Amino acid sequence: MTAPTKMKRGSLLRIYLAGSYLFPLVAGRILRKRLSKGKEHPTRWTEKQGRNLAPRPKGQLVWLHAVGLGETLSLRGLIARMAAKQPELSFLVTSTTRASAQVFAQNLPPRTIHQFLPIDAPLYRRRFLDHFEPDLCIWAEQDIWPGFVSDLAQRDIPQAIIAARLADKSFKAHQRAKSLYRDLYQAMKLVTAQDATTATHLGQFGVEAAITGSLKPAAPALSHSEAELSQLRAQIAGRFTWVVAPSHPRDEVIACKAHELLLRQLPDALLIIAPRDPKRPEEADPNIPRKSKSQHPKADDPVWLCDTYGDLGLIYRLTDAALIGGTFTDVEGHNPWEAAALNTAILHGPRYGNFTSDFAQLHASNAAISVKTPEDIANALLNADLADLAARASTVVEKASLSTDQLALDLLGLLRTPK
């Protein structure tokens, strides 16, 4: 059994904890407003108040939290490794976004349930922790909540932060509440960082963090519908197919210009656009077939809009190459490992600050191509080395996932002894 956590609660943390008693005064109104806009799950939004929770699995329970879609999906490889070592374990994954719940449900690991994280108010925290009584809490990447950290410490439930990511901008924001974050980080039994920059930043809060890299390379390949894959492969057989994903408006403008150039050399080439927010592209050309309307690309359609959630596993299996979205905007990139795991060649734009170490690993093995202009993209897509590029990326995935094996063992060593 791990030693009880003696958590320091400085003045900033005490002020936050006192203020959190006021959260329920506005929580219901805010949640219902978000519900009316489709931003909350229509039947599960009350989980954010610690109500209508799923039944607790029997035995030891590991609770993992990640904020959004990409971070939540990245937990699957770690869960698989922990489950392989201790098959009797069950897992609870929490997140905050509706999209994360929807896509994670399509890729749910065995013995795993998903819930929305309650708002960080004392009443909601108590309902959640009394109900689930986790034996270990794992915070992934950036999202930690002071009230939960404090309550878990009081209950002697061990906690860890893994694959922490603290770039310069986030670090400066944390510095403005340095004593608060020092208290939170020092309540952890284990802290690991994705990169050396993050480890250095965490050191400013008195934390020694091991560099274990990203969890994303270790995640299993995204799921898909085999029937739909077979149908689409038959429909686009023989066509060079590439995708921009998960895309934002600027990515799509550049990709479409590149596709116009590509069509001069490959007249039957197909571009798939997979928006990060499928509900966004209402302004799309009505002549472009849309998956949300059950439309598939015909032989003379140069572009197909895959505007549905949870279909990247399908799309990456169809395509020869992927232009990773968010790399032409201040979004600063998206996860390249999902494409790499499915043998898809990777291209990216010049802005990928949120995935610097990830792309550095790929470039070190000549497994990704950096592009800046539509001409760069078209030339890269015509590169005869494209298939080899994808194969090298798959090899990098295997190597990059090895650190997650040891991380799983380290986390299992933190589990509370069964009562």
- pLDDT tens digit string along 314-347? 999 999 999 999 999 999 999 999 999 999 999 9
Q: What is the pLDDT of residues 173-188, one digit of tens each?
A: 999 999 999 999 999 9
The secondary structure element, H or E, covering residue 126 is helix 122-132
Query: What is the rounded CA–CA span in Å between residue 104 and residue 362?
Result: 26
Residue range 201-227: mean pLDDT, rounded = 94
- Among 267, 281, 260, 215, smallest CA distance to 239 is for 267
**46, amino acid identity:** T
H or E element that contains 362: helix 356-364
Residue 398 is predicted with a pLDDT of 87
* pLDDT number for residue 241: 98
**Assigned CATH class of 11-213:** alpha beta
Region 341-359: what's the mean pLDDT?
94
- With respect to CATH, is domain 226-400 assigned 3.40.50.2000? yes
CA distance 143 to 128: 17
Retrieve residue 417's tokens.
Answer: 């002894």
Render the burial of 161-193: b for 16+ CB within 10 Å, e for the rest: bbbbbbbeeebeebeeeeebbbbbbebbbbbbb
The Cα-based distances of 69 to 57, 329, 334, 375 in angstroms read: 24, 19, 11, 32
**What is the rounded distance in angstroms from the CA atom of residue 246 to the CA atom of residue 274?**
6
* Average of per-residue pLDDT values in the chain: 94
Nearest to 388 by CA among 367, 361, 370, 360: 367
Residue 66 · residue 141 · CB < 8 Å: yes
Tell me the two tokens of residue 55.
Answer: 């039944």
Global confidence as pTM: 0.89
What is the band of 169 on the pLDDT scale with cuts at 50, 70, 90? confident
CATH 3.40.50.2000 domain residues, the chain: 226-400
Q: Which two tokens stand for residue 183?
A: 């208290």
Query: Residue 110 is encoded by which pair of tokens?
Result: 């065995």
At residue 278 the predicted structure's pLDDT band, cuts being 50, 70 and 90, is: confident
Whole-number pLDDT of residue 400: 82
Residue count of the chain: 419
In this structure, are residues 92 and 112 in contact, taking their beta carbons and an 8 Å threshold? yes
Number of H helices, E strands in the chain: 17, 13
**In the prediction, which pLDDT does 401 show?**
86
The DSSP output letter for 91 is E
Look at 398 and 27; give whichever has higher pLDDT: 27
Q: At what angle do helices 122-132 and 24-36 cross, to 10 degrees?
A: 80
Phi, psi of 77 (to 5 degrees): -65, -40
